Amino acid sequence: MARKKSIYYQYSNQADNVIEDGKPLYKTIKGKWNEVYFKNNNPIVLELACGKGEYTVGLARLFPDKNFIGIDIKGDRIARGSMEANESNLKNVAFLRAGIKYLHEFFVENEVDEIWLVHPDPKVRQREENQRLTNQNFLTYYATYLKDNGIFHLKTDSPFLYDYSLSSIQEAEQYQIIQYTSDLYHSELYENHYGITTHYEKIFVEKGYTINYIKAQIKKQTP
């Protein structure tokens, strides 16, 4: 396993579609994703805590007129998404190796059109609330980089995180919930996940878990 991880880390280090510490763009890409990396003015979509980048790559195939950035701290994980994107010759894909709390080092206000958060760790212990990726602090943080009318998506197999997130998003000043369901696969919102399932999502569904989904829109106050 260690050798396999080493191979993925090496691939990530050499891949042009992976931006990580030690590469030139890591320190200079902030606010310049369209201009410098994608070289177009298409909308930017982030997948936070992207893991192997199933959504980043899957959505990029479906929407060639949008730019997708998968963000994760694990280099061996994003290397797999990087490989798949390169094998499919997807030019609208990038991966950023960084923690979510460092978004401010790579993006400027109103640079992002859409954010996906897919099956994050629910952090069910009360003492872990400050680590839940849909708490008030994180939601405010995301809203900084999302444009007015930008979209935030959450998919989770955790009823706990779903209920917590519904409440948290409802309380967030700049968010307006558009759609939500506690059983995505058996709802009229089924098409919202575009038929993209992560490795663990398939396992969850086979075990009888339902998939929860929330779609919210950013509403920023004008001066």
State residue 13's pLDDT score.
82
Residue 7, domain member (yes or no): yes
What is the mean pLDDT of the segment spanning 137-161?
A: 97
The CATH number for 62's domain is 3.40.50.150
Amino acid letter for position 153: H
The domain tally of the chain equals 1
- The overall average pLDDT reported for the chain is 94
On whether residue 208 sits in a domain, the answer given is yes
* Contact residues for 166 (Cβ-Cβ < 8 A; gap 6+): 177, 180, 214
Averaged pLDDT, 20-31: 96
Question: Average of pLDDT values for 130-138?
Answer: 97
Instruction: Quote the pLDDT of residue 11.
Output: 75
140: CB partners within 8 A, 6+ apart: 172, 174
Residue 186 resides in a domain: yes
Q: Which two tokens stand for residue 181?
A: 């369901």
176 domain residue, yes or no: yes
Q: Is residue 41 part of a domain?
A: yes
Segment 8-26 mean pLDDT: 88
Region class of 207: left (phi > 0), else alpha (psi between -120 and 50), else beta: alpha
pLDDT of residue 2: 54
CB atoms within 10 A of CB 5: 14
Token duo for residue 34? 């369209």
Res 15: pLDDT: 87
| Residues across the chain | 223
Which residues are within 8 A (CB) of 127 and not within 5 positions of it... i.e. 6 or more apart?
none
Residues 205-223 pLDDT 10s = 898 889 999 999 999 865 5
C-alpha to C-alpha distance for 203 and 200, rounded to whole angstroms: 5
pTM of the model: 0.94
d(CA 128, CA 130): 5
**pLDDT at residue 5 in the model:** 67
Residue 223 lies in a domain: no
What's the CA gap between 191 and 184, in Å, rounded?
9
Q: Is residue 121 part of a domain?
A: yes
- Which of the four pLDDT bands, split at 50, 70 and 90, describes residue 4? low
Cα-based angle 54, 147, 174 (whole degrees, multiple of 5): 100
Q: What is the pLDDT of residue 211?
A: 96
Q: Which domain holds residue 148?
A: 2-218
Instruction: Order across the sheet with 112-118: list the strands.
Output: 18-19, 93-97, 67-72, 44-48, 112-118, 146-156, 212-218, 175-181
Q: What is the pLDDT of residues 40-95, one digit of tens each?
A: 999 999 999 999 999 999 999 999 999 999 999 998 899 999 999 999 999 999 99
Q: Is 29 within a domain?
A: yes
Question: What is residue 222's predicted lDDT score, i.e. its pLDDT?
Answer: 56
Token couple for 20: 């990580």
List the catalytic residues: 121
What is the average pLDDT across 24-33?
A: 96
Average the pLDDT over 92-101 and give the result.
97
C-alpha–C-alpha distance, residues 158 and 163, integer Å? 9
Average pLDDT over residues 93-121: 97
| Three-state DSSP state, 223 | coil
Structure tokens at 72: 């994760």
Find how far residue 138's CA is from the centre of its chain. Answer: 13
